[in-house]
Every structure is written in C-alpha cells, then in structure tokens.
C-alpha cells in the first residue's frame, strides 16, 4: 500500500458523497525510474507505461501536500490545490514534460476557485508519434464533502473565500450515472484524459457551481447536471486561463525530486550499500557451495 492505513485512523475523518478513495495500490518505484530513463533517452513514454507514470506523479503530489497528521485516504485535501499544482508543474519542468498551470476562476472571469495542471505526454500509438493530454487534479475530493453538497446550499449565505451559495461541483456530478462514475474515477486516480466527454463532464459541474439560484426556474433548481456549453468552449477557456497564469508565473523553486534523483540519492545511502554487500556475500557463499 502507498499510504499507511494506521495514519488514516488518526487523521481527521470527513464525510463524502462518493465512495471512491485515492489510489492505494503498490507502485513499482524501480519501474518509474525506468520510465523516466526511457523518456530521457527516447523523448516519449510508452503508451502502456503512461498510467503507471501518472499514478506515481499523483501519489508523489498527494503525499507532499499532506502533513504527517493527514492521510490522503481520509483527508479532503481542501485548499491544497495550489501547492499540488505547483509540485506537478515543477516536477514536470525538471523532467522536460510539457506542462501548464491554470485556475478555473480565470476560465470564467471570476475569483480564484481551483488550480489545475495540464500536461502533454508524447508517446507512440500504432507505430506513430502522438501526444496524449491530461488534466491533473489530485485534490478534487475537496468538492465532494457532504456538508458542501446539500441542495439547501442554494439558500445559505456564503461563509468564506470562494464558497458560493450553491452546492459544490460534486453535487452536480452525482445527479447522473455518468457524472458519478467520472467523479469516482477522478477521486481515485487524480487525473483524466482530455477528450470531449471528460472536459464537458468536469467543467459543466464547475459552471453549474458558479450559476446562482436566480438563474434557474423553481422547477429545475438543483436538477440540472449539464449546460449548453461545449467542450470546445471549455478548451478555449483553458488556453485563455493558462495565458493569464503565465502573466503571474513565479519560480517557486520547490524542492521536488524526480524518480531518478530519488533513486540516485538512495543508492548513496549506507542502507543501500549494506544491502548490496549482503547480496554480494550471499552470491559468493552460494558459488562456494
């Protein structure tokens, strides 16, 4: 397991409207190092390795935005979207992977709402060079808290920050099967491929979150799960938001480490050297026998 279950027992317990939890299967770190080395030498990631790489990237991000008393298994990761986006951005930059940051608020010309990253992964599909793009959102679960996703949120006053007098995006995704499946998958993996369906499903939920009750009739308040906006509209707005983010781009100089850097550091430790000596001793012993 990636995350320590015992830590989850003592971390803050929050209630969510979806059953999914963050991906917690073991990741072969040596395989991730191999993927990075292959990318360095060849300029692309094998198609079959992309999900492994993204799973590691999301894990690395989630573990670094939580303090020791917080477990990604139970924590909503509320207000951690900006640190998460900065970690992903800096790490991808170090690995020479095309990456951009943007805020959903900038897409809709409103206040700051939620920071995301968009990455482009070069690969080979059917023996041809191709690129697959993804939106990375490791902290989406913060929009799925029971308290924030009640119908009566329409009739309560905003309490702080970016909170609207509307249910959070999770509410609108849960209105239908497609949205529920999408939300559960995003909570688990923390990323989704950029395609028409995914883009519309995801950003419709945020558009509805930004739509006040005054724009509805009483018979459709809280019942709409989609808008008449297209995925192409959202994609154009993403590019606009990326350009806005670049105007205020700051070199955060975060102490992120690529898999190769982590591996190299480990191989310089006494622990690693002792393990290798033990292996060598065992091999020599077996040869003598």
Count of domains in the chain? Answer: 2
Task: Identify the pLDDT of residue 76.
Answer: 95
Q: Quick one: 224 and 272 in the same domain?
A: no
Q: Which long-range contacts (CB under 8 A, 24 or more apart) does 243-246 make?
A: 244/102, 244/103, 244/106, 245/100, 245/101, 245/102, 245/103, 245/106, 246/100
Distance between CA atoms of residues 162 and 201, nearest Å: 21
What is the average pLDDT score of the chain? Answer: 91
Q: Are residues 282 and 242 in the same domain?
A: no
User: Residue 2: which pLDDT band, with cuts at 50, 70 and 90?
Assistant: confident
User: What is the residue range of 58's domain?
Assistant: 5-256
126 and 14 together in one domain: yes
pLDDT at position 278 is 66
Whether the pLDDT of residue 254 is over 90: the answer is: no
Q: Residues 98, 240: one domain?
A: yes
Verify that 142 and 155 share a domain, yes or no.
yes
Range from 3-7, 17-21, 257-261, 280-284 carrying the lowest mean pLDDT: 280-284
Q: Are residues 262 and 250 in the same domain?
A: no
Tell which wins on pLDDT, 164 or 25: 25
Are residue 235 and residue 109 in the same domain, yes or no? yes
Helix (H/G/I), strand (E/B), else coil: 131 = strand
């Amino acid at each position: 397991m990636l995350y320590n279950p015992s830590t989850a027992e003592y971390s803050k317990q929050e209630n969510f409207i979806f059953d999914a939890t963050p991906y917690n299967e073991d990741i072969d770190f040596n395989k991730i190092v191999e993927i990075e080395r292959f990318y360095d030498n060849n300029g692309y990631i094998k198609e079959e390795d992309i999900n492994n790489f993204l799973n590691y990237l999301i894990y690395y991000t989630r573990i670094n935005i939580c303090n020791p008393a917080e477990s990604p298994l139970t924590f909503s990761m509320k207000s951690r979207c900006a640190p998460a986006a900065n970690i992903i951005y800096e790490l991808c930059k170090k690995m020479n992977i095309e990456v951009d940051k943007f805020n959903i608020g900038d897409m809709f010309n409103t206040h700051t709402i939620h920071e995301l990253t968009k990455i482009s992964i070069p690969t080979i599909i059917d023996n041809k060079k191709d690129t697959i793009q993804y939106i990375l959102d490791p902290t989406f679960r913060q929009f799925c808290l029971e308290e924030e996703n009640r119908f009566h949120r329409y009739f309560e006053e905003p309490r702080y920050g970016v909170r609207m007098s509307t249910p959070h995006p999770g509410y609108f995704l849960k209105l239908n099967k497609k949205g529920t499946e999408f939300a559960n998958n995003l909570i688990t993996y923390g990323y989704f491929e950029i395609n028409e369906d995914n883009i519309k499903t995801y950003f419709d939920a945020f558009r509805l979150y930004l739509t006040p009750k005054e724009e509805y009739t009483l018979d459709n308040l809280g019942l709409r799960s989609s808008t008449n906006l297209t995925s192409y509209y959202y994609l154009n707005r993403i590019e606009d938001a990326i350009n806005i983010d670049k105007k205020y781009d700051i070199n955060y100089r975060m102490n992120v480490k690529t898999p190769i850097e982590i591996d190299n550091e480990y191989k310089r430790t006494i622990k690693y050297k002792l393990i290798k000596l033990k292996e060598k001793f065992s091999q020599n012993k077996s040869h003598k026998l």
